[in-house]
Structure 1
Amino acid sequence: MAKRKLLREIAAEVYGPEKADRFWKRIEIIGDIAVIRKPFDVNIDELKPLAEALLRRLPYVKSVWVTSSPVEGEYRLRSYTHLAGEKRSWTIYREYGCSFKIDITRVYISPRLSYEHQRIARLVKPGETVINMYAGAGLFSIIIARHSKPAKVYSIDINPEAYKMMVENVRLNKLEGIVVPILGDAAEVVEKQLQSTADRILMPLPELALEHLPHALKGLRGRGWLHVYLHVFAEKGVDPRRKAVEMLAERLDELGARYRVELSRVVRTVGPRRSQVVVDVHVES
């Protein structure tokens, strides 16, 4: 809360209190790097005074970057432009007692998912086998392994650079043998290597979750938990949580699954009337 207040103050100093909310809510601190998610109607040069103010007011920030594209492509990356401070895109990012070496230009990462990392870790029971179908640099997988005593966490990503970071982060957190990094397409890996393996499967890639649902079902040991992340556009008055459940239920019904929905929650806002929603569902057969 104190950090949010300070970011608001810094933005108000640069742009005035009336415009501050347009900027401070778009600042993310990743290790010692500040990232500004650029408003679509703002020129990059207009953000340089904010970058300088962040360096001046936040002594732990050493480099400031701005996103110059949306998340896109097979590897779900953004383009970045350096604004101020050290021209360095890697950092050590920490969450819940775990450390992660991250290059922001080569792997997708968002601190806005930190609560979700912890929430899922608390749900995992000792001895479970978990599959993380889109693991990135390994944050979900490593936090689960550190805090929840699973038997194994199979941690898959198609991005070779993310995979390298994941391998390094497993070593960094001394979790070799528990977190198993796998480079490849998640659907193919589950089909060829991990059928009937998992008690719990994470699907934190909204663009592919519904398409890959048949493969996730094959990865379960007949029954188990799915955590499915979806992007939902909800018109005014429509609950995005309900809409996400309806989307997932329609797909599970098509696939003939027996299931019960345990929870749906909005993880974050990703655009005008567009939300990322997670649905926790127990598949019974």
Structure 2
Amino acid sequence: MAKRKLLKEIAAEVYGSEQADRFWKRIEIIGDIAVIRKPFGVELEELKPLAEALLRRLPYVKSVWAASSPVEGEFRLRRYTHLAGEKRSWTVYREYGCSFKIDITKVYISPRLSYEHQRIARLVKPGEVVINMYAGAGLFSIIIAKHSQPEKVYSIDINPEAYQMMVENVKLNRVEDKVVPILGDAAKVLEERLQHTADRILMPLPELALEHLPYALKGLRGPGWLHVYLHVFAEKGIDPRRKAIEMLSKRLDELGAQYRVELSRVVRTVGPRRSQVVVDVYVEP
């Protein structure tokens, strides 16, 4: 809360109190790097005074970058522009006692997912086998390995750069006995290598979750849990959590699955009336 208040104060100093909300809510601190997600209609040059102010006011920030595109492409990356400080995109990001070497230009990462990382880790029971279908640099997987007692966490990503970071982060956090990094397309890996393997499967890539649901169902070795992340557009008065349940239920019904929905929660806002929602669902054989 104190950090949010300080970011709002810095933005107000640069742009005035009426415009501050357009900027401070779009700042993320990743290790010693500050990232400003460029507001629509704002030129990159307009962000440089804010970048300089962040360097002055936040001694732990050494580099400031603008994220100038949405998350896009096969590897789900943003385009970045350096604004101020060290021209370095590598940093060490820490979450829940774990350390992660990250290059923000080569793997997607958002501190706004930190609560979700912890929430899922608390749900994992001792001895479970977990599959993380879209693991990135390994945050979900490693936090689960460090804070729960899984038998194994199969941690898959298609991005070679993200995979290399994941391998390094597994060693850095000393969870080589728990986390198995796998480079590849998650659907193919489950189909070819991991059928009937897991008690719990994470699907934290909204763009592919519904499409890849058949592979996730094949990955369960019996009754088990799916954590399905979806992007939901909800018109005014419509609960995005309910809409996410409807979207997932329709797909599971098409696949003939027996299931019960345990929870649906908004993870974060990703655009006007657009939310990322996670649905926890228990699937019967």
Question: In the alignment, what sits opposite 2:241?
Answer: 241
Query: Tell me, what secondary structure is at the counterpart of 1:262?
Result: strand
Query: Tell me, what secondary structure is at the counterpart of 2:29?
Result: strand
Instruction: State how far apart, in whole Å, the 1-side matches of 2:223 and 2:254 are.
Output: 17
Amino acid across the alignment from 1:107: V
Instruction: State how far apart, in whole Å, the 1-side matches of 2:12 and 2:154 are.
Output: 45
How much does 1:177 deviate? 2.0
Q: How does 1:21-100 map to 2 (within 5 A)?
A: 21-100=21-100
How much does 1:231 deviate? 0.2
Question: In the alignment, what sits opposite 1:219?
Answer: 219
Q: How does 1:266-277 map to 2 (within 5 A)?
A: 266-277=266-277
Alignment gaps of 5+ in structure 1:
none
Question: In the alignment, what sits opposite 1:145?
Answer: 145
How much does 1:97 deviate? 0.2
Q: How does 1:70-219 map to 2 (within 5 A)?
A: 70-219=70-219
Q: Could you give the per-residue CA deviations for residues 107-127 of structure 1, whole angstroms, max 9, x where no partner exists?
A: 000000000000000000011
Consecutive aligned runs of 4 or more in structure 1 exceeding 3 Å deviation: none
Q: Could you give the per-residue CA deviations for residues 186-221 of structure 1, whole angstroms, max 9, x where no partner exists?
A: 000001100000000000000000000000000001
How much does 1:77 deviate? 0.3
Amino acid across the alignment from 1:106: K
What RMSD, in angstroms, separates the aligned Cα atoms of the two structures?
0.4
Question: In the alignment, what sits opposite 2:265?
Answer: 265
- Would you say how many aligned residue pairs link Structure 1 and Structure 2? 285
Structure-2-length-normalised TM-score:
1.00
Instruction: State how far apart, in whole Å, the 1-side matches of 2:5 and 2:235 are.
Output: 31
Instruction: State how far apart, in whole Å, the 2-side matches of 1:34 and 1:212 are.
Output: 33
Q: Could you give the per-residue CA deviations for residues 203-258 of structure 1, whole angstroms, max 9, x where no partner exists?
A: 00000000000000000012100000000000110000000000000000000000
Report sequence identity in percent: 87
Q: Could you give the per-residue CA deviations for residues 91-140 of structure 1, whole angstroms, max 9, x where no partner exists?
A: 00000000000000000000000000000000000110000000000000
How much does 1:69 deviate? 1.1
Structure-1-length-normalised TM-score:
1.00
Query: Tell me, what secondary structure is at the counterpart of 1:215?
Result: helix
Instruction: State how far apart, in whole Å, the 2-side matches of 1:216 and 1:246 are.
Output: 18
Query: Tell me, what secondary structure is at the counterpart of 2:226?
Result: strand
